[in-house]
Amino acid sequence: YTLAKATAIDAYINGHLIPPDPALEAALKNNASANLAPIEVPPNQGKQLYLLAKMLKAKRILEIGTLGGYSTIWLAKAVSQAGKVITLEIEPEHAKVARENIANAGFEKIVEIKVNSALKTLAQMQEEGTEAFDMVFIDADKDNNTGYFTAALAMSHVGTLIVVDNIARQGRIIDQGSTAGDVIGTRKLFELMGKEKRVEATAVQTVGSKGWDGYAMALVIE
Ligand code: SAM
């Protein structure tokens, strides 16, 4: 495949299946004008997260890695006004942009952004006995993926779906001898998901406007 063709196919898919949503489009524009890296999920993957959340009838969703809140808005659309989305972000500047985008989308009452290192926030949430989540979307620094997955599992119930983004990294995850933190973090995640008896998991590679990557998903079964 070529990136140009994969991007054109994404545009084709989005043109047919993803009706324009002013709030989502405004969020992408605002992210770009705030100079955030264009590393939000593409629209078709955002809609996949939304559909998964709807299938789960999710009321409580945890997101790790907010950026400008693009994926957060997709998740909030799925839980609607009766739900709650808690999203974790380390960069105050990203959180500020996300807050604007989320308010513009009308979801400021159901979305809570917690600004700190996600591992610290997750530890605090567990200490506070935070109610279990129906779905967790992990999309922050890949180095800490096992820590995020373990915390997600601790705040899950039977039937919770944990989705982890960026599991192929342009093919880098199987580079033997790689010392890159994201590669090592992702490989440790696969080892953990494969051994963990409380989940059934799979992963799918993707190509599209964001290049060659993929996502993993794990369903909590006990
Ligand atoms: N989920 C977003 C979307 O699709 O619109 C994209 C998230 S972006 C790929 C990753 C985000 O994780 C960045 O905003 C980054 O600042 C944040 N991040 C990185 N390390 C973090 C950490 N240790 N704790 C919390 N957030 C972190």
pLDDT digits (tens, 9 = 90+) for 119-161: 999 999 999 999 999 999 999 999 999 999 999 999 999 999 9
Atom of ligand 1 nearest to the CA of 46: 4
CA 163 to ligand 1 center in whole angstroms: 14
Instruction: Note down the domain range covering 140.
Output: 3-220
State how many domains the chain has.
1
Give the CATH number for residue 14.
Answer: 3.40.50.150
Whole-angstrom Cα distance, residue 129 to residue 104?
31
Residues with CB under 6 A from ligand 1: 39-41, 65-67, 70-71, 88-91, 94, 117-118, 139-141, 144
Q: Is the ipTM of this complex over 0.85?
A: yes
Whole-angstrom Cα distance, residue 179 to residue 85?
34
CA 202 to ligand 1 center in whole angstroms: 23
Alpha helices in 35-172 (DSSP H): 43-55, 70-79, 92-104, 118-127, 145-154
pLDDT value at 82 more than 90: no
Residue 80 — pLDDT band, cuts 50, 70, 90? confident
- Radius of gyration over every alpha carbon of the chain, rounded to an integer in angstroms: 17
CA 97 to ligand 1 center in whole angstroms: 13
Residue 114 — pLDDT band, cuts 50, 70, 90? very high
